[in-house]
Amino acid sequence: MIDRLFKKKDISIVLNEAGSSNGGLKRSLTATNLVALGIGAIVGTGIFVITGQAAASYAGPALTISFLISALGCVMAGLCYAEFAAMIPVAGSVYSYSYTTMGEILAWFIGWILILEYLFACSSVAVGWSGYMMSLLDEWGLHLPDQISYATFDHIGDNWVWTGSIINFPAVFIVAVVSAFLIGGIKQSALVNNLIVVVKVSVILLFIGFGISFIDTGNWHPYIPENTGEFGHYGWSGILRGAGVVFYAYLGFDALSTAAQEARNPQKDMPKGILISLLVCALLYVAVTAVLTGIVNYKELDVPAPIALAIDSTGNGLSWLSPFIKLGAIAGLSSVILVMMLGQSRIYYAISKDGLLPKTFSKVHSKHGVPHNATIFASIITGIFAGLFPLHVLSELVSIGTLMAFTIVCISIVVLRKTQPDLKRPFRTPWVPFIPLLGAAICIIQMVALPWSTWVRLIGWTIIGFIIYFTYGIKHSNLNKKL
């Protein structure tokens, strides 16, 4: 039994599967497409929402340090992702990597965690998109009825309550639109994403460029607010808690690795896409946080749209920028949904190809070259969660799932260097094992700093995953059928 659980997939088989036939997926993505996909996935809810909430609740102006800590962990993990993505250019990301290094049971576990990451990230971003869209519609004099504008359920205290709403229709709508683009093909999706990235990065640069002149340096004092006596509320523990929370803002660059099987030259372009997009976004986050906390005192930033608040606080100075910020947020969140949905569908595709999920998810459309059944399923399940539940319920599990995935990638690099040192590595993570182990340590520290309730929900999700594996996956596994 133990042998079945920990049997590893031969890396040569994985590479052959991604060879000439490519499993039906089309190699259409260039290095530019990959960088744009990375920026498209990363710049979204984090920069438009999380920055203000994390500054107000945890780190104050020192949230810039929190972003740098998270960026450091992401760069370490990104270097490890880059080695794997260049060496094993297949769909499935860390799920596929761990299958070759740690065995089936751990591969299933991380695949299930990735599903959690992409599903709840996509759903929560769709809810955020809905909020900005309704705000913009209100400005235009268009008002949607409350019954189709908000989540059906909410979690208040320890109780679930019905809000009186039927469904959050705008959230479901954007999920359906994005899935239609994805089913149309990866090349079409990449083009749409490129255009969106140009729009939202332009808006962010406008905020940084014009906002600098409205900074009151007094808002940066004290730069590190004194701890309240409770861990995680200001002080250095608040900076650390803030780093764990804003890790959500970096969510997305790992989604690039799920598209490795659709890159034209994955050995060279995947490392470029991962690392360049990560570094660009880290610079944008630090700059936006500095300007934001300089314009508005950090204590006032615990609002759904902190950048809009900062603009409004300047009076007529930046009022002209307000509608552009909302359009930029809507565009930004749209591209995050697109890339997260792409990542989610590719995880279903990869797991299905190994027999751990039904084979229907690994069917590829003959014309468009995309796993259409997996994409449709991803859109349905995402739409259900986005339509029924509010943002705070959906976003709780995202950071811890991402941190766990990054930790496993970092450890897997060390394992594979020891067990298969002669494998061809077009890109090599520098300073192994120092970089991977430091990356894993930073991620683990941030996981420990997260609230206990987050761990409880993760345990519940994990139990559901193992029930599915032991009732279906282990019986249908392609690898175990060969035993």
Predicted confidence band at 215 (pLDDT cuts at 50, 70, 90)? very high
Residue range 316-347, pLDDT digits in tens: 888 888 888 878 888 888 888 888 898 899 89
Q: Average of pLDDT values for 98-106?
A: 84
Q: How far apart are CA 99 and CA 185, in angstroms?
A: 27
Upstream peptide bond of 89 is cis (omega within 30 degrees of 0): no
Three-state secondary structure readout of 138-191: HHCCCCCCHHHCCCCEEEECCEEEECCCCCCHHHHHHHHHHHHHHHCCHHHHHH
Structure tokens at 18: 């991604």
pLDDT, position 286: 93
- 266 phi and psi angles, rounded to 5 deg: -60, -30
Predicted confidence band at 424 (pLDDT cuts at 50, 70, 90)? confident
- 29 phi and psi angles, rounded to 5 deg: -90, 125
pLDDT, position 463: 95
Which structural domain, as residue segments, surrounds residue 293?
Answer: 2-481
Structure tokens at 378: 């991803």
Residue 138 burial by CB count (10 A; 0-12/13-18/19+): exposed, middle or buried? exposed
DSSP state, residue 275? H
Q: Total domain count for the chain?
A: 1
Q: What is the pTM of this model?
A: 0.81
Q: Average of pLDDT values for 273-277?
A: 87
**pLDDT over 90 at 358, yes or no:** yes
Predicted confidence band at 207 (pLDDT cuts at 50, 70, 90)? very high
Whether the CB-CB separation of 55 and 135 falls below 8 Å is answered with no
DSSP state, residue 321? G
Predicted confidence band at 349 (pLDDT cuts at 50, 70, 90)? very high
CATH code, 121: 1.20.1740.10
Q: How far apart are CA 462 and CA 118, in angstroms?
A: 15
